[in-house]
């Protein structure tokens, strides 16, 4: 149960009577902005929003207008009824990698700190993933709907720096996942949507993009409250690994949309890519009996099978009609659910080779970046869909509820983050991170910018 300290005008903090746990020391005072506790081992500042106390936990943050901000965490010592405050981190002004214009390198700059409003949270970004195709977004080749100059970057792991007045659960210092999928609040059925720092789904969503403009390649980020999910405590050194959440959630959204059932045989078409391989991990965690991983690169397929175990079997896609038959053989004729997450360059025949492996009554979920025109467009035959009673579903990203579900699967050990190889770069080396991600796309590999 939370306990609050109330800030009075002037210097000292006063404790609201009757609200504090017995073990709180009498020595927490504020003198000229400094927090002193017990032996005065550390000091910092108290914000106008106060110091929040939960059972056994003290968190505070810097006074507005001060450049230096400090988090505190306490450890209780039941024997002497005292609380030690430990400095967990402090930081400099907001630093970011800025995309000034399409086709220009990211420029590392100092930007004004974001200013919090109602319905928002400011997060200290600790780690953020770099997509294999980030270079195509920043060069403009992908034609993403986004308006530079901006700080790019979709999704982050970080710690809450400040919460708006309407937040009921989040507390300063909480470890969180920042979901880039921002849905407009003024249309429940068909909300205009953006990926923060990445793209707007349609021109109508541009006002949202202009407001939540900056993404995660920065030390701080302003995020709508509903896009911030607490993920539980973790060691700062593990924040890079937790960026796998972004990779996992995308295919997880597709597998949820395809209503994966325990015992299903699942095909992942594009399984050697970043999102595809995470899709294999997610399908196994959701109870698939067999996952057929389809890709063109035998070496990457072998690596995937070796790392993910006997429920995974692999098919090297050759581009011939034979591909479908070999998938069916591996699945003993019964693919219940096919997740297509092929990249933009994939051909129509690659898409169809996977789709056609479905059993009668099977479900096909399309999530890939495939964009073709005319004859190159994958044409799913009417007669095949009808006679085979196929359910066809497109899916962009994932519902909000998928986030705590995936976090629970990770916490329960159903999904192991140790399956992912993480390569970390500092923010100063953001351009190198983007180039590295493009050159080293592969199964279960994450490229991460580490901000702290």
Ligand X SMILES: NC(=O)c1ccc[n+]([C@@H]2O[C@H](COP(=O)([O-])OP(=O)(O)OC[C@H]3O[C@@H](n4cnc5c(N)ncnc54)[C@H](OP(=O)(O)O)[C@@H]3O)[C@@H](O)[C@H]2O)c1
Question: Which residue from 191, 343, 399, 404 is in contact with ligand X, where contact means CB under 6 A?
Answer: 343
**163: exposed, middle or buried (C-beta count within 10 Å: 0-12, 13-18, 19+)?**
buried
Q: Minimum Å distance from CB 276 to ligand X?
A: 5
76 lies in the site for ligand X, by CB under 6 A: no
Nearer to ligand X, 121 or 430 (CB): 430
Question: CA separation (Å) from 439 to 5, 98, 133, 332, 341?
Answer: 52, 22, 10, 36, 19
Residues 6+ apart with CB under 8 A from 94: 110, 111, 112, 113, 114, 218, 219, 220
Nearer to ligand X, 301 or 358 (CB): 301
> Using CB under 6 A, which of the segments 35-43, 293-301, 381-389, 424-432 binds ligand X?
293-301
Q: Minimum Å distance from CB 148 to ligand X?
A: 20
Number of residues counted as binding ligand X (CB under 6 A): 28
349 lies in the site for ligand X, by CB under 6 A: no
State residue 233 phi and psi, 5-degree precision: -65, 145
268 lies in the site for ligand X, by CB under 6 A: no
What SS3 class is residue 133? coil
Nearer to ligand X, 218 or 317 (CB): 317
What is the sign, positive or negative, of the torsion defined by CA atoms of 265, 266, 272, 277? negative
50 lies in the site for ligand X, by CB under 6 A: no
Question: Which residue from 135, 261, 441, 452 is in contact with ligand X, where contact means CB under 6 A?
Answer: 441
What SS3 class is residue 276? helix
Footprint (CB under 6 A) of ligand X, residues 380-419: 395-397
Q: Which two tokens stand for residue 172?
A: 């300063």
Q: Minimum Å distance from CB 60 to ligand X?
A: 37
352 lies in the site for ligand X, by CB under 6 A: no
Residues 6+ apart with CB under 8 A from 278: 244, 247, 248, 250, 251, 444
> Using CB under 6 A, which of the segments 7-15, 34-42, 113-121, 291-299 binds ligand X?
291-299
* Residues 54 and 2 sit within 8 Å (Cβ to Cβ): yes
d(CA 145, CA 265) in angstroms, rounded, equals 37
Q: Minimum Å distance from CB 167 to ligand X?
A: 27
Q: Report DSSP state, residue 99.
A: B
* Residues 422 and 241 sit within 8 Å (Cβ to Cβ): yes
Nearer to ligand X, 173 or 276 (CB): 276
Q: Minimum Å distance from CB 271 to ligand X?
A: 8
342 lies in the site for ligand X, by CB under 6 A: yes
Q: Which two tokens stand for residue 366?
A: 């399309």
Question: Which residue from 106, 250, 283, 407 is in contact with ligand X, where contact means CB under 6 A?
Answer: 250
Footprint (CB under 6 A) of ligand X, residues 81-100: none
Q: Minimum Å distance from CB 342 to ligand X?
A: 5
Q: Minimum Å distance from CB 367 to ligand X?
A: 4
Which helix (H) or strand (E) element contains residue 95?
strand 95-98
Footprint (CB under 6 A) of ligand X, residues 101-160: 131-133
**How many residues are present in the chain?**
452
* Residues 283 and 263 sit within 8 Å (Cβ to Cβ): no
326 lies in the site for ligand X, by CB under 6 A: no
Cis before 149 (ω within 30): yes
Question: Which residue from 37, 96, 341, 434 is in contact with ligand X, where contact means CB under 6 A?
Answer: 341
Question: Which residue from 173, 276, 354, 362 is in contact with ligand X, where contact means CB under 6 A?
Answer: 276
423 lies in the site for ligand X, by CB under 6 A: no
Q: Minimum Å distance from CB 275 to ligand X?
A: 4
312 lies in the site for ligand X, by CB under 6 A: no
Nearer to ligand X, 259 or 389 (CB): 259
d(CA 87, CA 105) in angstroms, rounded, equals 36
215 lies in the site for ligand X, by CB under 6 A: no
Q: Minimum Å distance from CB 83 to ligand X?
A: 45
Residues 6+ apart with CB under 8 A from 80: none
Packing angle of the helix pair 274-285, 244-257 (nearest 10 deg): 60
Nearer to ligand X, 59 or 300 (CB): 300
- List residues near ligand X by CB under 6 A: 131-133, 250, 270, 272-276, 295-297, 300, 341-346, 350, 367-369, 395-397, 441
């Amino acid at each position: 149960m939370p306990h609050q300290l109330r800030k009075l005008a002037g210097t000292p903090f006063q404790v609201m009577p009757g609200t504090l746990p017995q073990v709180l020391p009498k020595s927490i005072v504020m003198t000229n902005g400094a927090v002193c506790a017990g032996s005065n081992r550390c000091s910092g500042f108290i914000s106008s929003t106060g110091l929040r106390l939960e059972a056994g936990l003290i968190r505070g943050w810097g006074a507005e207008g001060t450049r230096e901000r400090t988090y505190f965490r306490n450890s209780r010592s039941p024997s002497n009824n005292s609380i030690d405050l430990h400095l967990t981190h402090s930081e400099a002004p907001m630093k970011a990698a800025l995309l000034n214009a399409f086709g220009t390198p990211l420029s590392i700059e100092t930007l004004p700190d974001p200013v919090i409003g109602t319905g928002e949270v400011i997060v200290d970004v600790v780690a953020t993933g770099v997509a294999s195709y980030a270079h195509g977004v920043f060069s403009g080749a992908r034609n993403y709907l986004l308006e530079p100059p901006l700080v790019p970057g979709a999704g982050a792991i970080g710690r809450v720096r400040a919460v708006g007045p309407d937040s009921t659960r989040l507390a300063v210092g909480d470890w969180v996942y920042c979901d880039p999928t921002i849905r407009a609040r003024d249309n429940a059925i068909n909300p205009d949507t953006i990926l923060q720092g990445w793209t707007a789904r349609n021109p109508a969503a541009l006002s949202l993009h202009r407001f939540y403009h900056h993404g995660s390649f920065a030390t701080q980020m302003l995020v709508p409250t509903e896009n911030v999910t607490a993920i539980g405590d973790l060691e700062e050194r593990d924040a890079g690994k937790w960026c796998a959440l972004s990779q996992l959630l995308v295919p997880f959204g597709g597998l949820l949309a395809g209503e994966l059932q325990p015992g299903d045989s699942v095909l992942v078409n594009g399984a050697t890519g970043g999102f595809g391989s995470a899709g294999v991990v997610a399908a196994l965690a959701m109870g698939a009996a067999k996952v057929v991983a389809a890709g063109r690169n035998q070496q990457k397929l072998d690596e995937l099978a070796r790392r993910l175990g006997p429920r995974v079997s692999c098919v090297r896609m050759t581009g011939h009609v034979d591909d479908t038959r070999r998938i069916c053989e591996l699945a003993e004729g019964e693919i219940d659910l096919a997740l297509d997450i092929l990249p933009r360059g994939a051909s129509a025949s690659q898409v169809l080779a996977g789709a056609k492996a479905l059993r009668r009554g099977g479900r096909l979920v399309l999530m890939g970046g495939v964009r073709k025109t005319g004859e190159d467009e994958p044409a799913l035959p009417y007669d095949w869909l009808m006679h085979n009673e196929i359910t066809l579903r497109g899916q962009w990203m994932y519902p909000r509820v998928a986030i705590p579900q995936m976090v629970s699967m990770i916490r329960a050990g159903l999904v192991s983050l140790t399956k992912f190889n993480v390569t970390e770069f500092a923010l100063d080396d953001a351009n190198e991170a983007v180039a590295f991600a493009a050159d080293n796309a592969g199964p279960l590999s994450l490229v991460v910018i580490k901000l702290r």
